[in-house]
Each structure stands twice: as structure tokens, then as C-alpha cells.
Amino acid sequence: MAALLLSSAAIVAPACAQPQSTRQTTAEPRATIDLSTGWRFHSGDADAGPAAPSFDDAAWQPVSVPHTWNKVGTYAVTRAADADMRQGLGWYRRSLTVPAALNGRRLFLEFDGVSKIADVWVNGTHVGRHAGAFARFRIDVTGALKPGANSLAVRADNSASAPGSSTEHVIPLGGDFFVQGGIYRGVRLVAVEDAHIDLADHGGPGVYLHTPKVSAERAEVAAKTLLRNLGTRARTLTLTTTIQDATGKPVATDRVPAALAPGQALAVERGLTLASPHLWQGRADPYLYRVVSELRDGARVIDRQVQPLGIRSFAFDPNRGLILNGKPTPLHGVSRHQDVGGKGWALTPEDHARDMALALELGANTIRHAHYQHAQEWTDEADKAGMVVWAELPFVHEANVEPSLPPAPETIANAEEQLRELIHQNYNHPSILLWSVGNEADIGAAIDAMRKGSGKPAQSRSMLERLDRLARAEDPSRLTVYADCCEDTPSILSMQGAPSLNGVTQVMGLNRYYGWYYGDLDGVGPALDALHAKHPALPIGLSEWGAGGAMTQHSDNPRGGPVAAYGRPQPEEYQSLAIEENWKQIRARPYLSASWLWNLFDFATTMRNEGDATDINTKGLVSYDRKTRKDAFYFLQASWSDAPVLHLNGRRYVDRAYAVTDVRGYSNADRVSLSVNGKPVGEVACPDRICVWPGVALAPGANHLVATANIGGKQVTDALDWNAPNPRKGVFIDSGALVGGTMGGDRYGSDDFFRGGTAKVLAGRSPFAPPPKVEGTDSPALFGSYREGKFGYDIPLPDGSWTVNIASFEPDAAKGAARSFAVLADGKRVIEAFSPLQAAGGVNKAVTRSFQVKSSGGRLVLAFEPVGGDAVVAGIAIRPN
């Protein structure tokens, strides 16, 4: 509590250079002065010198808040020159003029978010500290401010959490997101009378509403209002609570006397009843009442607080999912981080509204707040939109900066305070149904052990249990949830001996990445079924799933090679495939309470150099700057939304590697037609919202593709433009590769046209270790992947005479001595028993073999048949004779 309501008796004469620049709202009963402008910023300075009123800040940078000094993330394979990764101290200063009209009022500074630790000085006097990057906090500065000019200084600290650091005990201690520094949410001065609706309750509104009994006939509304008298005289007041409908019409009113002695805090609990209530029914009908709480001295209103009210009942059933107002309500949605490219965490209300509009466009009906408390403006948008919200505490990855050690008492205390702030500040949002008390709280120890080669499991369970008990006590009307990473998964981060963290909370969240970090694309369904059987009494939600999608990396066949989940490449087409295959399994399991795809937007992190980006997690459906919707966005929109959807995939893969390709798209139409350069290709059905035109021939050069469909009686079209190569100049295939490239002057496509075999990459000892190098070639990238086994290729090829060049090598010394294989072209054996090891003279040494063929019927069929072991092919080059 001390961090939320602190006062100072010292008054120091101000001497700030900044001009007063505020927007005032001083109408009765509660007055506010917006403090967005007029700030100066400077990075550094560990001492408190800049807090002095006489400090000269003329050389500091003029800024407005919201503001962050960090700039993280770029779509490039090297870090941007203007990237700002600084973690440490940042100072803010401004002058503050207190109008004479506020004389005699209690004055509070209200900060919506300062990261990660905030220290605040008024007129040179330290008036308060807040530890936690995501919650609103208030400081009573009545005794520190004086009428007229004052100086205000704020020191923000986003130092990295490490042993002995200032943030060692301030959660989050880890996580795959960058904790940006600054006053990144709004700031204001709030003036109230000595007797008021309490401002000292963990940053909360002082009015707390819930609906203990709801039916179609009536709803009982419980209203708890906290009052406080900071004056020196007793007050006899009246508290009036009015429920207004969406038009502002009063529909229920309660009045109760409230006697407050000097210094007294009082909780007033009242019940109101609504007949035939209009229920908050999620996206279907997000109806909102509002509750106006007024504290009166006779006829005069001395304080007022207005809060949203959504009347709903809900339950999470282990077998049927969410039951909202008695109706089973399947939930499908996304997680969201709060940063935007070019702005970081310093978002405006317009930014929040735009983000919610994109979630609605997608067709989502639930949002997970990753991995911390989000801005009130964002959750207001969720209330209005009818989103069901999972709100989360930033207990992420680890409970101690030494991940295998138990949490320190100071860390537990900080986490508990941040949890109280989360619940109190968001209590009245009807959209929130779940309080998450943690995310992957044991994975930090597993990551640490993997990097060091050994280590002990985390000791996070006791802290998680403590936080769960606190959340249930603070708000019995909602359920608790935790997001588990690793139980019963084949993940490299699933540590032997680590205790299960599932079963602590009332709902079980599962972060599962089958077909991405581990397992096969069809693995998520059986894994969920197994855990549902193991924990039959627990409602289950799939709290994370998805895959990365690099917008400038593309695959001709996303099944052609392994994805580099920890590195590069991560083509956009693979993201689409992974989401398609996972969603088919998710939707078939009605026991799932919800699923939240990770993530709605790409976001900043310094843990990743992946896909086509640096310091960005590319699992978003929409780009970091919100300008580009990836192909997978439209698949989910076609699956989730009622709006007409027709989208052709691959518009960013303009310069194609092959002249014959499958054309794919997404639609909620029954059938879709395609034309290329004005010529009809055909009409196809779109099962599972996926439309495929196989083996479409493109003309050399420019191609214009148009898809058309009738959806709900309306003609809908989509179009894109591709450039295709001239196949008479050759066909080049990078076997086993998910993404092609130019090698030796030739443009290779990714692995395609294959049948059978297994695609593999030449890998290091761990996902983070570099792979071995293949010698004897000027195109080493071609040998970074290969296809192994018994397999063939059915390659579209114009009729004519060709030279076929097969690139191979021996990747495995244990198999090399016995390995040999034959090559057949159109059924004729052209290479007998070929041993890459013998031909190259060693392991990881390039070797090639060539032969002549004549193609007919527009195709060439190659077969690679084991003789003494599996065939290995790294690339196929077909050139005209």
C-alpha cells in the first residue's frame, strides 16, 4: 500500500524551465489536469540530482507522454542502426502549475504505467515509488505541491533483471518480450475533496461490481464502494448508486447514509436489483450498463465515479467449454502484446481501437492479454466489442533470476501486489472472465539448463499456488488459469523431474506448438486428448499455438522441408500450413474451453533472430506496424468470421521459382473460380475454407490471377500478380529445403514435385549451434538440406533434351559406408549404385553426377532407389542441351 499512497510534508521552491502545458478538466466534483505534454527526457544519471527544482534540463529532449526511449525490432537479418535496446534509468522532468481553483483539494498524481520501477519527486522531495511496469498507481502529493508553479521529476528504471539489480525482485524476471522503459501510459493530476471515493485501493476505481445471481427475469448487482475521509472533521454524507442503461436512463438506484470520522476508510456494500436485465452476451450482444456512484454532502455532489457493468453469468465446463448466460459459447481468438513498430509501448487510444478493430475483422471472440496487465483503454474496447478476456499477471518464465532457485520473499511480495493491482483495477470489466496467475513459470530453468548443458528444474509451484489462492480470495466471482508449456510434450524444454504445474488453477491453459517447436502437424489433437484424459475435472484451454511467418521468405511447398523454428527461414507459407492443420484439430474438440492463437501481431523481443527479422517474434497474423495481414489471417477470418472472405495466397511471393505451381486461397464461399491472364483455370470447392487449384501453368513473365465467388448473393473477387520463369531455360530444385535461393547463378526453388522420402537439414548439436560445413562446393547453401530415403520427383518440364545434374553428399559417417543408390529417369536406370561417401572421399563433402534425358508429355519423372542404403539428394539442376 505504501507504494500506492505516499505523502510528503516537505515543500521545496520550484525552479523548472519547462513551460506549463496541460489540459484541465476542473468541473465538479472531481477535477483532473492532463500531464501529457511539456516533459523533458534524459537517459542515465543514477543519482537524484535531476530531481532538484533548480536542475538545468535545457539540453534534455522535449517529449510528450506516452513515451518510451526504446526502439526494438526490425524486419532485417541485422539489427537496425537506430535500434535502442537500453535498459536502465531514464529521467523525465516538467513544471506543474496548480490552479488556484484547486486550493483545499486533495491532490494525487496518477500514472497509468511507468516501466519498470518509478520514483517520483515533487519540488525536490521524493514522494513515492512504484515497482511494476503495467499497473496504474497514485501518489498523494497534497503536502508536496503548492499553489502556482511546481517541479515534477520521474525516474523510470527498466534495468534487466539479474542478481543484485534494482529489478531483481520485480516481475517479470524473464519472458520472450522486451520490457520497454519510460512513462509509456498517461499521467494526470487528480483533485478530490478530503472525503471521496477511495483513490488508495491498489490503483483501483474504489467501486467494485459483480452479479452474484443472473437470470432472464432478474439480476442482482452487488456494489462495493470504498470511501475515505482524509480531512480533520467528521462528515455525514450520502452515497447514491445508480445503474443506467445504454441510453443513460436510470433503471435502479440505491441511497445510503455514510458517516466518516476523520481519517476513516469505509467499505459500503449494497445490492441492487434489475428486472428483465439485458445480458452481456459476448460478441453476439455486448450490452453495457454503467454504474454512477455519487458521494453527496446534502444536495452537493462531492465525488463521482462511473464504471461499466455487464450483466452475465458464466461457467467453464471440463467437457463443454464456456457456458455464457446458459449458452455454450465456443471461444476462438488470439493473444496480443501491447507494442507497435515505430511506437513501442507508447500507445494512444486510437492504437488500441485499431488493434481491436483488427481482432474483430479476424472474427475472434476472445483475447488473451499477453503477458501482463494491459491498458484500460484496451480492455474498455474489449468490453464494448464483446471479447472474452484472459487477463494475466507478468509471472513469466521464472520465479528467481537464478531460475532453478526458489523465489525470494521480496519477489513473492511484488508478485502479490501486482496481482492485487491487476484485479482491483480491472474488476469491473465484464469482458474479463479469467485471471491468469502465470505463464510457463518453469521454462526459464529449462532454457538455462539447455544453454549450460545441465541444470536443475525450477521451483515455481509454491509461488504459483500462493498467487492462485490470492486471486481466488480477491475475486471469487472469476476463475484462475495458468499457461503451461511442457507437461507431456516432446519439447527439448521439458525437463525430467520438473513438477507438473497443471491443476493448481481452476482452468488449465496449454501452450502447445506441434509442427513448430516439436512433433508433427497432426500432433496437437492427440496431445490435447491425452491431457484431457489425465486431468478430466479441469477445463482446458489451448492458450498458445501457431507458427512464425516471415513476409519476405517463401516456400513453393511448405511440406518440402523442416522449418527453422529457432532461426531462419520461417516462410509465410509454412505459417499458413501450420495454422490450417492445427485449427482442424482444435475445432474438432468441443471440450476445449477456448483457443488463443499466438499472436495477433508480430512483437518485439531480444531473444530472437528468426525468419526475416531481428528482435521480432514473427508469429503474428499481422505485421509489427499493423500494415500487413499475412495469408494466415485470412484463413482464420474465413473460418471464424461471418463476413465474405476471398483471398488468394502468395501475393508477396511475386517472383516465382517455378512455372507450374499450386494456387491456394481461402474463402467461406462454397466454390471459387480462378483465371490466369484472363483464361479460366476452373472452379473448385473450398473444404475447410481452403481452395486449391493444383498444377497451374504460368506464362513466362507477368501473370495476373483473379479469383471470383458468390457469397451470400454478392459477387466477391481477389487478384494478385506473379512473375514466372521460362521453364525452357531450366528447372532447379533445392532438395529438402523449405525456401529456395540463387546459387551459382541459378534460381533454385524450394523442394517440390517430390513423392516420398524425408526432408532433412544439416543441423548442429542443438537448435542454437551452427551446422557443419559441406566442403568442395561454391554453393554451400544447396547442401544445407537434403531429401533422404526412397523417393521420386515428377517434374513439370517442356519436351526436349536436357542435362540433369544431381548434387549429393554423405551427411552421416555411420551410414555412409553402406549407402548406395540408383537413379532412374522416366523408368530407365541412368545411374547405378552410387555411393556419395566413396565418390566424395569423406563425410560432408559435395559430389555431383550428371546424365542426359529427353522429356516428353511435359514431364520428367526421376526415381531415387536405395541399393545399399537410403538415397541422399541435396539438389537437382535441369538445364537445356
Q: Is 470 helix (H, G, I), strand (E, B) or coil?
A: helix
711 to 463, 639, 669: CA distances (angstroms): 52, 14, 5
Cell reading at 585: 484439430
Q: Is the backbone peptide bond immediately before 172 cis, with ω within 30 degrees of 0?
A: yes
DSSP string across 520-584: -TT-HHHHHHHHHHHSTTS-EEEEE-----BTT---S-TTSS---TTSS--BHHHHHHHHHHHHH
Q: What are phi and psi of 354, to 5 degrees?
A: -65, -40
Amino acid at 860: L
Instruction: Using the structure block, give the residue that is written with the C-alpha cell 470447392.
Output: 685
Q: Is 417 helix (H, G, I), strand (E, B) or coil?
A: helix
Q: Is 456 left (phi over 0), alpha (psi -120 to 50) or beta?
A: beta
Bridge partners (DSSP) listed for residue 196: 228
Cβ proximity of 391 and 432 under 8 Å = yes
- Write out the E strands in 74-180: 89-98, 106-111, 114-115, 117-122, 125-131, 137-140, 148-157
CA atoms within 13 A on the CB side of 369: 31
Bridge partners (DSSP) listed for residue 319: none
**Which stretches within 733-848 are classed as H helix?**
813-816, 836-840
Q: For residue 580, indicate whether it is catalytic.
A: no
Tell me the angle at which helices 572-587 and 524-534 cross, rounded to the nearest 10 degrees.
40
Instruction: Using the structure block, give the residue that is written with the C-alpha cell 483488427.
Output: 358
Cell reading at 72: 526494438
CA angle 489-478-413, nearest 5°? 75
Please write down the HEC assignment for all residues of 357-369: HHHHHHCCCEEEE
Residues 6+ apart with CB under 8 A from 520: 514
**Which stretches within 792-835 are classed as H helix?**
813-816
Q: Longest C-alpha distance within the chain, in Å?
A: 104
CA 352 to chain centre: 14
Cβ proximity of 199 and 142 under 8 Å = no
Count of CB atoms situated within 10 Å of the CB of 31: 19
Amino acid at 28: E
Quote the CA–CA distance of 824 and 802 in Å, as a whole number.
15
Positive or negative: CA dihedral 596, 602, 608, 609: positive
201 to 106, 225, 430, 666: CA distances (angstroms): 16, 11, 20, 50
Cell reading at 681: 483455370
Quote the CA–CA distance of 387 and 554 in Å, as a whole number.
33
Residue length, the chain?
Answer: 881
What is the dihedral angle through the alpha carbons of 333, 338, 341, 342, rounded to the nearest 10 degrees? 150
Element (H, E) at 384: helix 376-385
Bridge partners (DSSP) listed for residue 719: 706
DSSP-assigned letter for residue 21: -
Positive or negative: CA dihedral 18, 19, 21, 24: positive
Residues 6+ apart with CB under 8 A from 47: none
Q: Which of 440, 487, 572, 580 is catalytic?
A: 440
Bridge partners (DSSP) listed for residue 236: 259
DSSP-assigned letter for residue 736: T
The residues assigned a catalytic role are 440
